Structure 1
Amino acid sequence: MTDDAYLVLLNGTAVTLGVPPSAVGELTCMEAPAVRAWLQAQGVTATSPGLRLVPPEETAALPDDVERLPVPLGEEELSHVRRHAAPHDVARLEKELLAYRSYSDGRDALLARALAAGVPAHRIAELTGEDLVTVKALAH
């Protein structure tokens, strides 16, 4: 497995990996001179049907003879590619996990704000599923 995502041209192959770049949304790598030159050399555009963006974990499945170009993706862009490449149920769960992370990152602050606003500790524990001892510890 490689650490790079790849832009690949899968015209005429039975392999369907990755996602069309246009399905992911705006990607900064698509404006890179190297990517534009590669697309031009292949005679395709960013919306060509055989063009796919393949995340690192799928690159081992690419046929050896497929045209490919490593592309730099930021963490958020790679996350979008993976979510679009995943089956619908997995993508939905990944989206929920990202939402959970955003809530858990500010968990202590949210619980402390609720306590400061007068929400009883037992009610916070009930609503959040947090341990009552944990909630009470934030009150001090």
Structure 2
Amino acid sequence: MTDDAYLFLVDDPEPPLGAPVTAVGDLACLETPAVRAWLDAHGVTAASPGVRLLPPEETGAIPAAAEKLPVPLSDEELNQLRHALTPPGALARVEEELLAYRDCAGERDALLARATAAGVPQHRIVELTGEDARTVATAAAQGQHPTSASGPRQR
């Protein structure tokens, strides 16, 4: 495995291997003399459908006979490339999971305080939630204060 991503040429972009360069966005490496010379030598542009890009961890999938060129990408460019390679359905599912996590995590402290107030021992809350014991203890202590947003207000 290498630390560089690779530009490579495919004769037939079906089935798709790698990402089309245009799907990744503006890449600084495309302006380098080495990449421009490589593209010119093969008679293609970065927008050609046969010009593809793979991140370092996937370069082993490039066919041995393919023309290829290692290119350094910034962390942001690598993230863009990996995003371009993610199937749209999979990306949507992960984003839904992240939203569900946000909704659940936003109520975490209130739930921990309610569990403690209901009499669930703190060690059992730790076992069930996987939360750190200090987190559970802190949430339980905050839930005992009358000014806590998670507990009922005293008059």
| Structure 2 residue runs without a partner (length 5+) | 111-138, 143-155
Which fold has the larger relative contact order, with Cα–Cα distance below 8 Å and residues 6 or more apart in sequence? Answer: 1
The answer to whether residue 63 in structure 2 is matched with residue 63 in structure 1 is: yes
Task: Give the aligned residue type for 2:109.
Answer: D
| Structure 1 residue runs without a partner (length 5+) | 105-125
Aligned residues of 1:84 and 1:91 also touching (Cα < 8 A): no
Aligned residues of 2:13 and 2:49 also touching (Cα < 8 A): no
TM-score w.r.t. the length of structure 1 is 0.67
Aligned residues of 1:21 and 1:51 also touching (Cα < 8 A): yes
The within-5 A match list for 1:63-102 is 63-92=63-92
The within-5 A match list for 1:1-140 is 1-12=1-12, 16-92=16-92, 128-132=106-110, 133=139, 136=142
CA distance in 2: counterparts of 1:44 and 1:60, whole angstroms: 23
Task: Give the aligned residue type for 1:23.
Answer: A
Q: Which is higher, the Rg of structure 1 or of structure 2?
A: 2
Structure 2 SS opposite 1:47:
coil
Identity in percent: 49
CA distance in 1: counterparts of 2:64 and 2:16, whole angstroms: 14
Name which of structure 1's ranges 87-96 and 63-72 shifts more when overlaid on structure 2: 87-96
**Considering only aligned residues, what root-mean-square deviation do their CA atoms show, in Å?**
3.1
TM-score w.r.t. the length of structure 2 is 0.61
